[in-house]
Structure 1
Amino acid sequence: MTISATTPIRASQPANERLLTFDFARGILIILMVLVHVLDFYGDTSTRESLVGSTIRLLANWQVAAWFVFIMGMFITYSGQQSLSTGLKRALGLFALGYALNIARGSIPMWLSLQFGLVTQEQLGSYTPTTEFFIVDILQFAGLALACCLLVKHLLPEPKHWLISALLVTFASPSIWDTSTGWIYIDSVLKLLFGNVNQGAMFPLFPWLAYPLVGMAFGHWLRKSCNIREFFQKSLWVGTAIIAVGLPITITDTAYHMASNMRPGPGMVISLTGGALVFLWLCQRLTENQSANRFVSLLCFWGRNVTTYYVIQWLLIGWGLMLVGSQQLPQIAAISAMLVVMALSHFGVLLWLKIHNVRSMKIA
């Protein structure tokens, strides 16, 4: 199977056509995602603290997940009408897939690695096969966020209401973080909403819900736009203005607003939202009138199949721990592992699509 060419973007292109920009943007984010995941799981201390490791963290730690879910929110309104029931079924599927992935990429390979002596509990720290299952990762968040956004869109159909909701989420979230009851089962549910990294909640709904809510408004206005270049140019200035608001707020109390990239304060949420608009403007300029080439087509292919790629790269990284151990690789080996994971994930996507197409043909 080959990567198909994509249609260039034109400035006057109707906005209800699928834009190369967003597939390309997600393709770039996929590269950064793999780099930081491999660095965190395979790189030794010197690698993570090196210039290469520090650069990867600077480019990927804060932005990637935030901009991924911003684009997810954008597609809710940009990609056309979808029934509420269909959307909620997809949200449930993403949520369940998150826990299935936890077992397949984390619990099983970690248990086997411990049994065969490939890693030690000391190397893993507080992580165990059980804690791996209960981790709240981006797929669980995506399922919850998609359901919330669809319900907000259904009940409050005006974009201004979505932006107001995003502001409420942004500024109210810190006051409800770490809400708990002392009852383990209830608290396991609450951490999906308000939890922190120490509880295994990498992406709690609050404040992360703010990004897709703003993305919905962006997608709505983009769909109504008749001139792509003009729309994205305005987005650049709006994004720059939002950053200019967010950064001073962040500077007033950096310890509060930048306490964790997994649960940022209002200043960083605002700054990253503005950054998403600037990033998408840059991607639009890079793909405008772009004749198809292998690099752009490759990134767009990854972007169109982002969920499949995400699952496969995590399976490779999780099971790869049995081969290379946890945080054991020096810099050259870690960089090589990044390239290997990207390449194998690509071929894994191709294989999955081939199997899926054959299965669809048999059902038909």
Structure 2
Amino acid sequence: MSTIKSSRILAIDFGRGFSVIAMIMVHTLWIHARQDVQSDTFLGHFIHFVGRGTPVFLITMGVSFMISRNQDVKSAVKRGIMILGVAYLMNFLKFLVPIIVGLMPDSFIEAYGWELPLDFEKYVYLLLTGDILQLAGISLLVLAFIRAYAKNKFILLGLAILIAFISPELRGIQSGMYGLHYITQLLWSDGYWVYFPMFPWISFILLGMFFGKWYIENEYNQKALFRRMFIVGVIFIVVGAPLVFMNETYHFNDFFHLGPGGVIYLAGWNFTVLSIFHWILSKTKNNFLYKIFYYCSKHVTSLYVIQWVLICWGMVIFGFQSKSELGTILLMPIFMMLTFVIHFSVVKIRSISRSDKPIPKERLAS
């Protein structure tokens, strides 16, 4: 018996929405908590553990990208370019604006080993800082063609594993030329100018695409999708955990520059988490919390930008890495609430402005 195609995979939406909430907590910790709070408290350890769910965002991106009704290369490339534009606009808003107007705390500048006033190169450095949106944009430019020409799902799986294994070796290949150096950083960063280099992080998107392709081939059977995802997740954990344990420096590194074992291990955990999300959603009724996660999933890019800008502008009031454990905990719901209020207000204003537009004459005549 064939399975009816579902317009949405709720567990994918739920997981993507969860990643948005998790990112707000992680970013609040990074920017506002004291160093000792980040490294030596239960809160710091817990939030960093939650941050290990970052691959959920990329895996769900891969699944959605593969099952999207619009499979056109041109539209995917356009979206990639648009996301890159948004990414650099976000950097301008969260870093450059408060510095230019003279409100950024000196402690933030000093954390880079700099002092005010900044020269042009330092402004460029901040503007070009690589975040997960840069990763998403660049990846879409590449994946648009991979999706179009890689018809076998195991090609996607093979590419993901291959990239995970070669990424640590590529990090040593850096150009001394200014512009080319930045490109190599975006591709396989060896430092913190680019936090999420395409190698190895695109592996998670490719793994999501692998499952998306499998889902399509299995006639959109969600139960089968997450059963297989759980099995693969367990296998990946069993394979990845020993690699990380034997050589954590190489395989897990600093989290941002993962080795193959770290990619496999984290992918395994995130596969199992998504499978658990599917099981929970299948056993429970829709509720307000679920609706929040679905809302986050639908507006993931704009919410991501708003929360980062708010958290960085929050340094003007709350300082940089100055809060205690309790102070950090109190800031998290504040930034969450402000993010949602601002986003909802913008959506509402857009809706009102669109409704006020005059009806075209040709529609009136019809």
Aligned residues: 348
* Structure 2 match to 1:131: 125
How far 1:343 moved relative to its partner? Answer: 0.7
Given the alignment of the two structures, is residue 39 of structure 1 paired with residue 29 of structure 2, yes or no?
A: yes
* Structure 1 match to 2:119: none
- Write the distance in 1 (CA, Å) between the matches of 2:259 and 2:358: 49
Say if 2:105 and 2:320, in contact at 8 Å, map to a contact too. no
* Structure 2 match to 1:26: 16
Q: Does the C-alpha gap of structure 1 residues 357 and 291 become closer, same or farther in structure 2, counting only changes over 3 Å?
A: same
Given the alignment of the two structures, is residue 17 of structure 1 paired with residue 4 of structure 2, yes or no?
A: no
Say if 1:107 and 1:130, in contact at 8 Å, map to a contact too. no
> SS state of the match for residue 197, structure 1?
coil
Say if 1:43 and 1:328, in contact at 8 Å, map to a contact too. yes
Task: Give the letter aligned to residue 200 of structure 2.
Answer: P
Task: Give the letter aligned to residue 105 of structure 1.
Answer: K
* Structure 1 match to 2:252: 258
The one of 93, 98, 106 aligned to 1:109: 98
* Structure 2 match to 1:95: 84
Say if 2:108 and 2:320, in contact at 8 Å, map to a contact too. no
Q: Does the C-alpha gap of structure 1 residues 258 and 363 become closer, same or farther in structure 2, counting only changes over 3 Å?
A: farther
How far 1:146 moved relative to its partner? Answer: 1.3
TM-score, normalized by length of structure 1?
0.90
- Write the distance in 1 (CA, Å) between the matches of 2:303 and 2:105: 27
How is 1:159-170 mapped onto 2 (pairs within 5 angstroms)? 159-170=153-164
> SS state of the match for residue 241, structure 1?
helix
Task: Give the letter aligned to residue 274 of structure 1.
Answer: G
Name the % identity.
Answer: 26
Give ranges in structure 1 of 5+ residues lacking alignment. Answer: 1-11
* Structure 2 match to 1:55: 46
> SS state of the match for residue 72, structure 1?
helix
* Structure 2 match to 1:153: 147
TM-score, normalized by length of structure 2?
0.89
* Structure 1 match to 2:198: 205
Select the structure with the greater relative contact order (CA < 8 A; seq sep ≥ 6). Answer: 1
- Write the distance in 1 (CA, Å) between the matches of 2:132 and 2:158: 24
- Write the distance in 1 (CA, Å) between the matches of 2:108 and 2:198: 30
Give ranges in structure 2 of 5+ residues lacking alignment. Answer: 115-121, 360-366
Given the alignment of the two structures, is residue 218 of structure 1 paired with residue 205 of structure 2, yes or no?
A: no
**Residues 130-160 of structure 1, C-alpha deviations (whole Å, 9 max, x = no match):** 4321201111110111121111111222211
Given the alignment of the two structures, is residue 119 of structure 1 paired with residue 109 of structure 2, yes or no?
A: no
How far 1:68 moved relative to its partner? Answer: 0.7
> SS state of the match for residue 106, structure 2?
coil
How is 1:1-364 mapped onto 2 (pairs within 5 angstroms)? 14-48=4-38, 49-60=40-51, 62-64=52-54, 66-112=55-101, 115-116=102-103, 118-120=105-107, 123-126=110-113, 129-198=123-192, 200-226=193-219, 227-361=221-355, 362=357
How far 1:255 moved relative to its partner? Answer: 1.3
- Write the distance in 1 (CA, Å) between the matches of 2:296 and 2:11: 13
Say if 2:11 and 2:274, in contact at 8 Å, map to a contact too. yes
- Write the distance in 2 (CA, Å) between the matches of 1:70 and 1:170: 14
* Structure 1 match to 2:363: none
Say if 1:246 and 1:268, in contact at 8 Å, map to a contact too. yes
Say if 2:200 and 2:257, in contact at 8 Å, map to a contact too. yes
How far 1:87 moved relative to its partner? Answer: 0.9
- Write the distance in 2 (CA, Å) between the matches of 1:155 and 1:109: 45
**Residues 68-100 of structure 1, C-alpha deviations (whole Å, 9 max, x = no match):** 111111111122233110111001001111111
Q: Does the C-alpha gap of structure 1 residues 318 and 244 become closer, same or farther in structure 2, counting only changes over 3 Å?
A: same
* Structure 2 match to 1:6: none
Say if 1:109 and 1:321, in contact at 8 Å, map to a contact too. no
Q: Does the C-alpha gap of structure 1 residues 210 and 121 become closer, same or farther in structure 2, counting only changes over 3 Å?
A: closer
Say if 2:164 and 2:203, in contact at 8 Å, map to a contact too. yes
Say if 2:15 and 2:56, in contact at 8 Å, map to a contact too. no
Q: Does the C-alpha gap of structure 1 residues 220 and 244 become closer, same or farther in structure 2, counting only changes over 3 Å?
A: same
Say if 2:80 and 2:141, in contact at 8 Å, map to a contact too. yes
Say if 1:176 and 1:194, in contact at 8 Å, map to a contact too. yes
- Write the distance in 1 (CA, Å) between the matches of 2:244 and 2:149: 33
| Aligned-pair Cα RMSD in Å | 2.0
Q: Does the C-alpha gap of structure 1 residues 13 and 287 become closer, same or farther in structure 2, counting only changes over 3 Å?
A: farther
**Residues 324-354 of structure 1, C-alpha deviations (whole Å, 9 max, x = no match):** 1110111221111111011111112211222
How far 1:278 moved relative to its partner? Answer: 0.6
> SS state of the match for residue 139, structure 1?
helix
- Write the distance in 2 (CA, Å) between the matches of 1:291 and 1:13: 22
